[in-house]
Amino acid sequence: MTARLRAPGMPRAGLGLALGIALSYAIVLPVRALYGFEPLVDGDAVTIVALLAAPFGFLFGLGAFDYWFYWASGRPTRPEDHSGHGATSWRDYFRVNTDHKVIGIQYTVTSFFFLLVGGALAMLMRAELAQPGMQFVSTDAFNGLFSVHASILIFLFIIPVFAGLANFVLPLMIGAPDMAFPRLNALSYWLLPIAGTMMLLSFLVPGGSFATGWTAYAPLSTDAPLGQLFFTIGVQFAGASSVATALNFLVTIITMRAPGMSFWRMPLLVWANFSTSLLVVIATPFIAASQFFVLLDRALGFNFFVPDRGGDVLMYQHVFWFYSHPAVYIMMLPGFGIISEIISVKARKPIFGYRMMAFSLLAIVVLGFTVWAHHMFVSGMQEWIRVPMMITTAIIAVPTGIKIFSWLATLWRGVLHLDTPMLFALGFLTMFVLGGISGVMLAMIPVVIHVSDTYFIVAHIHYVLFGGSLFTIFAGVYYWFPKMTGRMYDERLGKIHFWITFIGFNLTFGPMHLIGMKGMPRRVADYAEQFAGWNLFISLASFAVGLSTLIFVYNMVASWRGGPRAEANPWRALTLEWQVSSPPPIFNFDQIPTVVGGPYEYGVPGAVHGVFKKPGEVAPAPAGRVATAPKKE
Amino acid sequence: MEAASVAHAEHHHGPPPANQSSRVEPQLLGMLLFIISEVMIFGAFFTAYFFIRVVQGEEWPAAGTELPVAIAGVNTAILVSSSITLHWAESALKRDNRFGFKAGMVVTFLLGATFLFIQVNEYVHIGFSPQDTAQGSIFYGLTGLHGAHVFIGLLLLLFVTIRAFRGHFSSQSHRGVEVPGIYWHFVDVMWIVVYTSVYIL
């Protein structure tokens, strides 16, 4: 037993967790005794310190820092034996694993677990909203439901699941054996379950879970009960995870591309993750800071948001949205990348306007930082900020429009293969256009003053995050499922899943535009009689969406366990990840491939993207020109 | 676990070496990107400072309080000189002058620790607390955030110093000195910005 407690792993992680909590008592009690605070044992204070200390105890026990401790203390570091690499049993997914493919699966599965949790919370909300009046939960509990629903799905599902898919696919796509910093990669993954567990645990503390929405506006959040801090601190862990992964992606993309893979030969998924990672590295510190302010105000009595003492409450919203507007692109750009891959492969045509697709991603990155105050049109901020922000918001629709039209042009006269990934990709195109149009409407100050804080907003955000992001995620998961698991999913169940989701989604969120226009406020547990009919309809439709997710889960689990073996390249795709076996070999490539052409030359006779030969043996072809197919070795 | 290690022993050959597609070293680039995100977190704190001092137009420093500009100025000089000694240590290492390297690291570490000590001392004697006013909050917020970075930087320097005394690093391999060094220089430059905006302006 002692041996198990000393070796890195789950038993030691449990011990570390307990020690972290003990340490919090050991810190808080003497400090309170020193200052003469009464009572000596204060649950709030201990919990706050434990929220910070216990996760580090857990990570230390799990072994996330072991190598670095060796390094830092100057002891001879153990030669890399790749024992942290690869997975042969399910247990290997529950330890610090440095293999980007294992981490990719850890990320994806964990995020989907949180999707189910967040979805279940939505089902509870819709059950309460099915009729006017209060039926199942109290108003406070309802506030908790929608706050945790949004926080979980944003910070623990959409953002990390894209990181997970990219973690698996991106090194393969650029011909790298792994990510640039594999141990940092493992640490970024393990921060996630910590953040998610923390947010869910908030339901158990006295005063209930955090109930201030995912935006946690001050000073509402600085006066909220203890549960609020589970958000405030949980977000720090999710944010740290996302910054570390983004940094890792950027370094990997810049320094580890295969020979011949210039920036203009990178698949668009790589471009998308490059842009997203830039956004994450630059923007995420702002939400960290905004939550630090809340933490300092709430826990230590600082005055950042106390107007009597010179504090400024609107400052919270500025700092928060300076992250959280770019965050909507963090939640969308990787999806754009996935769709570019799928549409080109499934339409058997080169992507239309490859360079403009890449440039428009970068344009969104830059413009994304100039629009944050459009979330604050009704906040009472300085009026002169409004019109410039309205204009920049309208402008940001232009690069997005470039992408939409490029996808349409790619589809134009293509040979469409309407299987599940493609259906989700097309579903994304239509739904995202609707969400984008309501977004441009919401950019207009007169409109947003009318519909602010109504169900119109709820409809808009779900058209872009559900119809947009989630559809791309489903598309991506179906598309790379054969590569990740080595098995084929059930196509028939996949199509059933798509159609129920697609129709149920529209029936759920479409009517919200109408009742929003008529003035039904969001974030309320009860509503006027006149909205009763539509709300019942929406609730029933949302249950259909919930059930369709179960079909998806069944399909994934059953196919992973017993689906037919997948071939290396079932989609006849050109990008490098499809040129290795399914699932890929433990070190990705026996030999780093050489890239000789663009990634999307579908329908061009003899087009090749990468060849598995030594660089000297391959004559490089300029980008865009067709390379001759190498002879079979 | 056992199954995994057996499987590894069977087909253990290690990954193929990655192609280096950039002249920049991964470790260096990683640190630079990390510093970008650090700059942004300071940026958020400076946003708070801007909102309190400029947008709200609060008196700076708060009425009845004073900031020890001179002492902090001396402290600034201490931190800046620690950057110089760190550079000295690095160039000594590149000439394989081990004594200079070790002495430089020790002096750098001590200068950094002195800075932190004076900073904490300043908190004790400054006469206002973050709970008093928003100006106090952001004063402690900015200098405290910077102090936390000095602390992390000192930890990194400590690691380097320990390894220096254990005989690690040479003129051929000094990335482990360079990367923490960049971080320390960043902490230093950031202090000049904090000092200028909080104490002088």
* B18/A81 CB distance under 8 A: no
Looking at the partner chain, which of B30, B40, B132 has a beta carbon nearest the beta carbon of A181? Answer: B30
Tell me which chain B residues have a C-beta less than 8 angstroms from the C-beta of A219: none
CA distance B113 to chain A (A): 19
* B162/A73 CB distance under 8 A: yes
Q: Exposure of B70 by Cβ count < 10 A (0-12 exposed, 13-18 middle, 19+ buried)?
A: exposed
Cβ–Cβ contact B55 with A under 8 A: yes
**Smallest CA–CA distance from B164 into chain A, residue:** A74
CA distance B118 to chain A (A): 22
- Please report how the helices A420-443 and A386-411 are oriented relative to each other, as an axis angle in degrees rounded to 10: 160
Looking at the partner chain, which of A91, A251, A302 has a beta carbon nearest the beta carbon of B130? Answer: A302
Give chain B's mean pLDDT: 90
Asked if residue B8 has pLDDT above 90, the reply is: no
* B134/A306 CB distance under 8 A: yes
Q: Are B58 and A310 in contact (CB under 8 A)?
A: yes
Tell me which chain B residues have a C-beta less than 8 angstroms from the C-beta of A255: 20-22, 24-26, 29
Preceding peptide of A630 cis, ω within 30°: no
Tell me which chain A residues have a C-beta less than 8 angstroms from the C-beta of B45: 289
Tell me which chain B residues have a C-beta less than 8 angstroms from the C-beta of A254: 21-22, 24, 29
Chain segment B111-122, per-residue pLDDT in tens: 999 999 999 999
Q: Tokens 């973690």, residue?
A: A167
What is the Cα Rg of chain A in Å? 25
Helix (H) or strand (E) holding A318: helix A313-330
Alpha carbons A571 and A578: distance in angstroms, whole number: 8
Tell me which chain A residues have a C-beta less than 8 angstroms from the C-beta of B168: 74
Tell me which chain B residues have a C-beta less than 8 angstroms from the C-beta of A180: 26, 30
Q: What is the pLDDT of residue B64?
A: 87
- Best A247, A372, A589, A594 residue to mutate vs chain B (most B CBs within 10 Å): A247
* A256/B166 CB distance under 8 A: no
Tell me which chain A residues have a C-beta less than 8 angstroms from the C-beta of B1: 9, 91, 95
Looking at the partner chain, which of A74, A283, A304 has a beta carbon nearest the beta carbon of B48? Answer: A304
Asked if residue B126 has pLDDT above 70, the reply is: yes
* Cα within 13 Å of Cα(B68), Cβ side: 16
Alpha carbons A499 and A488: distance in angstroms, whole number: 20
* B137/A311 CB distance under 8 A: yes
* B162/A74 CB distance under 8 A: yes
Chain segment A533-555, per-residue pLDDT in tens: 999 999 999 999 999 999 999 99
Domains of chain B, CATH where assigned:
25-63+71-200 (1.20.120.80)
CA distance B4 to chain A (A): 6
Tell me which chain A residues have a C-beta less than 8 angstroms from the C-beta of B18: 176-178, 256, 592
- Best A65, A247, A255, A257 residue to mutate vs chain B (most B CBs within 10 Å): A255
**Smallest CA–CA distance from A587 into chain B, residue:** B15
* B51/A318 CB distance under 8 A: yes
* B43/A285 CB distance under 8 A: yes
* B16/A592 CB distance under 8 A: yes
Q: Which two tokens stand for residue B119?
A: 């900073």
Cβ–Cβ contact B43 with A under 8 A: yes
How far, rounded to the nearest angstrom, does the alpha carbon of residue A424 sit from its chain's CA centroid?
18
* B30/A180 CB distance under 8 A: yes
CATH of A102-331, one of 3.90.1820.10, 2.60.120.620, 1.20.210.10, 3.40.50.620: 1.20.210.10
Q: What is the pLDDT of residue A620?
A: 53
- Best A89, A93, A251 residue to mutate vs chain B (most B CBs within 10 Å): A251
ipTM computed for the complex: 0.91
- Give which of A462, A463, A468, A454 is closest to A435, Cα–Cα: A463
Q: Where in chain A is the domain with CATH 1.20.210.10?
A: 102-331
* B141/A314 CB distance under 8 A: no
Cβ–Cβ contact B166 with A under 8 A: yes
Mean pLDDT by 10 residues, chain A (633 residues): 83 93 93 87 89 94 87 72 80 90 96 97 96 92 95 96 96 94 95 95 92 92 92 96 96 95 95 97 96 94 92 94 95 96 95 95 95 92 91 94 96 94 97 94 93 95 95 97 95 96 96 95 93 96 95 96 93 93 90 91 87 64 47 43
Q: Are A514 and A506 in contact (CB under 8 A)?
A: no
Q: Residues of B numbered 10-39 whose beta carbons fall under 8 angstroms of chain A's beta carbons: which are they?
A: 11-22, 24-26, 29-30, 33-34, 36-38
Q: Which two tokens stand for residue B178?
A: 């360079």
Q: What is the pLDDT of residue B158?
A: 94
Distance from the first to the final alpha carbon of chain A: 53
Task: Spell A211-231 as b/e; 16+ CB within 10 A means b.
Answer: bbbbbbbbbbbbebbbbbbbb
* A247/B37 CB distance under 8 A: yes
For chains A and B, count residue pairs whose Cβ atoms are closer than 8 Å.
191
Q: What is the pLDDT of residue A619?
A: 55
DSSP structural state of residue A209? B
- Best B137, B152, B160, B179 residue to mutate vs chain A (most A CBs within 10 Å): B137
* A88/B14 CB distance under 8 A: no
Q: Are A358 and A371 in contact (CB under 8 A)?
A: no
Cα four-point dihedral sign B187, B192, B193, B194: positive
Tell me which chain B residues have a C-beta less than 8 angstroms from the C-beta of A322: 44, 47
Q: Residues of B numbered 90-149 whose beta carbons fall under 8 angstroms of chain A's beta carbons: which are they?
A: 130-138, 140-141
Cβ–Cβ contact B64 with A under 8 A: no
Alpha carbons A415 and B70: distance in angstroms, whole number: 75
Residues with Cβ < 8 Å from A445, sequence gap 6 or more? Answer: A377, A386, A387, A390
Q: Exposure of B105 by Cβ count < 10 A (0-12 exposed, 13-18 middle, 19+ buried)?
A: buried
